[in-house]
A and B are shown apart, each in its own frame.
Chain A
Amino acid sequence: MKIEVNGTNYDIDIIGDKALVNGKEMSVNLNEDEIKIGDDFFRLDFVEEGQPSLMIINGMTYVVSRRLADNALSKEIKSPMSGKIVGIFTKAGSEVKKGQLLVILEAMKMENQIKSHLNGSIKEIKVSKDQSVKMGQVLVTFE
């Protein structure tokens, strides 16, 4: 499997408790939040699954993805954190461009601009001004 990490490609295959890295065999030992590869220990500080996935290992950041065609952008925008909607700048049926401001969310004393991640048309605004929203709540959907 081709895996991209911070812009570099690796060929990785897992066979039992060994990994083939670009054809080279290495022993792998995963112990809760520590991983031993060959003779090296790595502490896993944070792992965020997804495509790509974000990992913090030994205090450094790695962005990891499978090399696939990038298709199907999500048709909805979810609230990235709990907070309050303080402004809505679009409406159902509007055509919006990538990067266009849709909603302002106030959380942790900051105004966060939530912008469109694609060019498309708005299907529905699922929230109203001054509404409190939870992390992960759908704010806006696209056609």
Chain B
Amino acid sequence: MLKKVLIANRGEIVIRVAKTCRKLDLRPCGIYSDADKDSLHIRHCEEVLSIGGYSPSESYLRMDKIINAAQKLGCDFIHPGYGFLSENLEFSELCKKEGIIFVGPSPEVMKLSGDKVRARKVASKVASIVEGDEVSKVSNALDLANKIGYPVILKAAKGGGGRGLRIVTSADELKVAFASSRNEAIMSFGSDRVYIEKYIQNPRHIEVQIVGDDSNIIHLGERECSVQRRNQKLIEETPSPALTNEAREKITNTAIAVMKEMRYNNAGTVEFLFKEDNFYFMEVNSRIQVEHAITEEVTGIDIVAEQLHISSGEGLSIKQEDVNSRGHAIECRINAEHPINFVPFPGMVKHFVPTIGKGIRVDTFLYSGYSIPPFYDSLVAKLICTGENRGDTIRMMKEALFSFRISGIPTTIPFHISALSDNRFLDGNYDTSFINELRPFSSKNGEVAAAILFQLPKKVHFQKKSEEEDLWMKSRFDWTHIFDPDGSPQSSLRWNK
């Protein structure tokens, strides 16, 4: 009988993992919440079970329901995807106790990598780290911030993905941020432990993909992830245009050294901040990442397959000398978000026509007529282009964005077109402040069309609007004001007149 894998997630990553499961003769199984009854991921699994609920805390974060589903379906493995329980130590221990293989590093490793404060200490043996430490009280926080100097950054010890993160420039701000960071940390990660680091202004964010088993740890190259907004990545590319071959060797070797210190045993990522030719260890992500696909495209290695090889005890199927990167790959994350203020915007997708073609990969769960539920992350599609070199790939990506059609909901496609038209991006000369000065890209013909459309007596019946959506329309411009306070560190795309 085929072994079964429960993919304990939703959306595109389930479809992605299911594909590899089939390739490896494993049977992909799935779960879905009440809000996800129409989600495409269900149809890519051989067997599915409802776990009920709407919000993550009543569905995809419910360990008991997930374990129960795995047992009912007779699953041998649980692949957690990213987000939700993917880096949850308690969940991986629970899987172990119940005799189900959690596809990820061992609980011992997760205990270490999931505790950013401990991970920093271990990594500091082999890598540079930014000055900082854990703080448990406002008074400690103020003292430490005073010592290392503002600006500082507050982070959740058990955190990730930008949640709980606060950049603070003064003691007054720190007092407010300390409470709200802890609050967001406990809400997102179930722990209110936070730490403070010296804030490195406008670094580049570069990470190294690692895969390892108990006897061997290798790297699959780096990813440049500096195009971010509110500490959430929007565009990633590999190789990084910032690194010389020498720097690349150094950063990948350091990443391997960090992972060896941690006795890391699955797929994982070592994240670094890179500024003025120095790189600083930031954290280890012990999951498959959203942006793993660009690494797969240039190396030809199926990272999910390696995860499953490692977890099943077969071990890595590749050695470092088998890894040969070729060409250049870029990923644009298409989120259901307002293109100007980046507010998540769930709703009904009218047309969905992804771009297809050589060198283009689209990982998505959208389809025409799908109604995006408001409870989960706003990522709806990943557009990945791979070409011979960076210039070709950027051109391909721009063309692919122009012909990619999602209508009915606003998405980050306009943002990506603007970013890929920006000279700083074209030159490869950008850091995490990139978005602050981004000019929206549009065409003069389009301006005329917009002006005419605005004046047409009857507006287009674009989508059937529910009452709720009408209210949204009315409230939108209050919101624009709200999201446009001066001096906000959380930048938004603005129209410059």
Contacts and interface: CB of A to CB of B under 8 A. Distances in A.
A3 interface: yes
B448 A49 contact: no
B258 interface: no
22 contacts: A5-B448, A5-B451, A6-B440, A6-B495, A12-B452, A14-B456, A35-B453, A47-B460, A53-B454, A58-B402, A59-B401, A60-B414, A60-B417, A60-B440, A62-B447, A78-B471, A80-B472, A81-B343, A108-B374, A109-B376, A110-B163, A135-B468
A92 interface: no
B253 to A, nearest CB: 35
Q: Is the interface of A mostly helix, strand, loop or mixed?
A: strand
Interface string B454-468: 111101111000001
Given A78-B475, A108-B374, A21 B485 contact: no
Contact of B478 (A7, A54, A78): A78
A136 B414 contact: no
A74 B392 CA distance: 48
Nearest to A106: B187
Interface of B: 56, 163, 180, 183-184, 187-188, 338-340, 343-344, 350-351, 374-378, 401-402, 404-411, 413-414, 417, 440-457, 459-462, 468-479, 481-482, 485-488, 495-497
Contacts of A109: 56, 163, 188, 376-377
In this complex, the member of A19, A54, A114 whose beta carbon has the largest number of chain B beta carbons within 10 angstroms is A54
Contacts of B446: 42, 57-58, 60, 62
Contacts of A82: 374
B449 A42 contact: yes
A7 B496 contact: yes
Given A5-B450, A5-B454, A54-B476, 8 more contacts: A7-B497, A33-B407, A35-B449, A45-B410, A49-B459, A54-B339, A74-B478, A82-B374
Contacts of B339: 54, 56, 61
B35 to A, nearest CB: 12
Nearest to A76: B478
Contacts of B447: 5-6, 8, 10, 62
A15 to B, nearest CB: 11
Interface string A104-143: 1011111110111110000000000000001110000000
Contact of B495 (A7, A48, A104, A107): A7
Interface residues of A, number: 73
A88 interface: no
In this complex, the member of B56, B443, B451 whose beta carbon has the largest number of chain A beta carbons within 10 angstroms is B451
Contacts of A110: 163, 344
Interface of A: 1, 3, 5-8, 10, 12-14, 19, 21, 26, 28, 30, 32-33, 35, 37, 40, 42-64, 66, 73-74, 76-82, 86-87, 98-99, 104, 106-112, 114-118, 134-136
A99 B485 CA distance: 5
Given A48-B473, A61-B339, A56 B414 contact: yes
Contacts of A3: 451, 454-455
A134 B455 CA distance: 32
Contacts of A40: 445, 449
A21 B451 contact: yes
Nearest to A41: B449
Contacts of B344: 81, 107-108, 110
A60 B443 CA distance: 8
Contacts of B444: 8
Contacts of A86: 183, 187
B455 A14 contact: yes
Contact of B476 (A14, A48, A64, A115): A48
Given A60-B414, A108-B377, A109-B163, A135 B402 contact: no
Given A81-B374, A136-B471, A50 B476 contact: yes
A94 B447 CA distance: 43
B410 A56 contact: yes
Contacts of A47: 453, 459-460, 462
A55 B477 contact: no
A117 B481 CA distance: 5
B485 A115 contact: yes
Given A3-B451, A33-B350, A44 B462 contact: yes
A52 B473 CA distance: 11
Nearest to A24: B448
A45 B334 CA distance: 14
Contacts of B377: 108-109
A73 B404 CA distance: 37
Contacts of A77: 478, 482
Nearest to B493: A61
Given A7-B495, A46-B409, A136-B468, A64 B454 contact: yes
